[in-house]
Structure formats: C-alpha cells, structure tokens
C-alpha cells in the first residue's frame, strides 16, 4: 500500500483545521492541550520559551509553526470524575460551571505532571487554592475549566510577544472543544473569537487531507481550506477589568505551584 502522506499528531490537526496561512492558530484539547501557530516559510526561534517545529511540507514548500504544550487538559477533567468523584460524567461540567456566578476566588493549577510551556517546570505540582467554607464542587469544576483558558492565554501571550502580531481568532478541536462553557471562557479570557469546526476530530481529518493531496484527490492546501466549516463561533463578552483580575489570580496561583529551583 503506498503511503501518500505522513504527519505528527498536532501538525495533522493544524492541517485539519485548515491553518495553512501564516498567523493562523489552532488549539487541540485532548488528554493534553497543544497550540500551534503557522509561522510561514521562515524558520524563527522563540524568545519566549516556545518550540519551533515543522508545521508541514507539501512538495518543496515547508511551513514552520510555533508550538506550546499544556500537559493536562482532558486528563485533569478525568481526575475530577475518577479521582475526586465530584461529577459522574465530564459532560456535566458545563452545566455545573454555569450554575455559579464566578469561581469565588478558587483556582486550580493542573500541574499533575509538571508545567509545560512557557514555564517548563517538571517539578511543579498541581494545587487548588482560594478555598473557603463557601466553596462547592461547582466552583472546583468551574476553576478547572477556567484553567484551560488561562493556560491557553499563557501560550498565546508568548506567541504574540514573539511575533508582535495580535491573534485574530483561535480554532479549537479535540474532545474538550465540545464543551460550550469552556469555549466561551476561552473567548472571554483570550479576548478573541473562538471558532469550533463541524468536525472536531481534526487530527484524523488532517492526515486524510494529506493523503488526498498525495493521491491527487485534492489540488493543494488552498483547496482543503475551502472545505473548513465552522459549527459555532464564540465571541468575547467580558469586561477588561474582570479579565485582568482573573488573570492576576491565575498568575499568583502558578507562582505557588512552581518548584523552588
């Protein structure tokens, strides 16, 4: 059987999300979270602790990408379900988070296996802080979902500092991307439009697209981009002061979780 295309997991997801133009960005929320931004054809190293990787190569044209890794995303949600047993099904998390007005000062840093980009601290450990007698399991669930947005904000901020370009929008995929509450939280914390495609299993889709180009079913990546369709778009709807306060709380929590090295 001839092999018509090959790609790594996140590179395939970026192609499935049709991030084929410089500046386009996708974030995959599976067991972990991985964010890639297409940097175009020029190789450039990050000055803010991100990885530069090959995004894809079709023919003789190679594109590079900036990549940031979050170690625990869906794995942290599984911990709430299986470890703490404060929900029976991950699908309950959106309704639970929406049932309380705010996080009541509760933050979770899901550094169960250390922190990835841009901290790269293997000895960091997870924590829950800001607990009070008024804290409920709903606040804990909400805090965990919020942590996905805060960590993504860390990555996007690092990329923006490298490129000096403001992110126009973010395309999301993976199992956690179907959580409407988390997707809206991403839009609010990042202050950008978040786009969820019709097909959220974009890794498999991207691999299929590459095979399609290799076998002549598709002309090029531009033709693939024409097939991308949004299922839902989430617009930011949070006051700047509220966003700043939440991010300040997150940064304080992260500092507590980092190792003393």
pLDDT digits (tens, 9 = 90+) for 125-153: 999 999 999 999 999 999 999 999 999 99
249-256 average pLDDT score: 97
Please write the tens of the pLDDT for every residue from 174-185.
999 999 999 999
The pLDDT, as a whole number, for residue 261 is: 56
The pLDDT tens digits for 15-55 are 999 999 999 999 999 999 999 999 999 999 999 999 999 99
Query: Which pTM does this prediction carry?
Result: 0.94
Residue 1 has a pLDDT of 84
Interval 88-127: pLDDT, tens: 999 999 999 999 999 999 999 999 999 999 999 999 999 9
Q: Return the pLDDT at 164.
A: 83
How far apart are alpha carbons 186 and 29 in whole angstroms? 12
Spell 105-125 as b/e; 16+ CB within 10 A means b: ebbbbbbeebbbbbbeeeebe
Assess whether pLDDT exceeds 70 at residue 202: yes
């Amino acid at each position: 059987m001839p092999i018509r295309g090959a790609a790594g997991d996140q590179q395939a997801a970026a192609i499935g999300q049709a991030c084929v133009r410089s500046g386009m960005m996708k974030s995959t929320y599976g067991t972990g979270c991985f964010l890639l931004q297409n940097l175009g054809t020029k190789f450039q190293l990050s000055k803010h602790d991100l990885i530069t990787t090959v995004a894809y190569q079709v023919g003789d044209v190679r594109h590079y990408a900036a990549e940031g890794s979050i170690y625990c995303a869906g794995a942290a949600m599984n911990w709430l379900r299986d470890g703490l047993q404060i929900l029976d099904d991950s699908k309950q998390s959106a309704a639970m988070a929406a049932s309380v007005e705010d996080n009541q000062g509760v933050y979770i840093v899901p550094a169960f296996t250390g922190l990835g980009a841009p901290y790269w601290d293997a000895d960091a450990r997870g924590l829950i802080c800001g607990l009070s007698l008024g804290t409920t399991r709903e606040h804990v669930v909400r805090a965990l979902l919020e942590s996905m947005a805060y960590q993504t904000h860390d990555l996007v901020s690092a990329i923006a500092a490298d490129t000096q370009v403001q992110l126009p929008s973010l395309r999301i995929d993976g199992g956690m991307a179907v959580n409407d509450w988390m997707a809206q939280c991403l839009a609010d914390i990042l202050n950008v439009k978040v786009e969820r495609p019709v097909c959220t299993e974009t890794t498999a889709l991207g691999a299929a697209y590459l095979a399609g180009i290799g076998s002549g079913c598709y002309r090029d990546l531009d033709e693939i981009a024409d097939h991308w369709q949004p299922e839902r778009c989430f617009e930011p709807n949070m006051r700047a002061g509220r966003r700043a306060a939440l991010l300040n709380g997150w940064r304080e929590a992260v500092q507590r979780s980092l190792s003393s090295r």
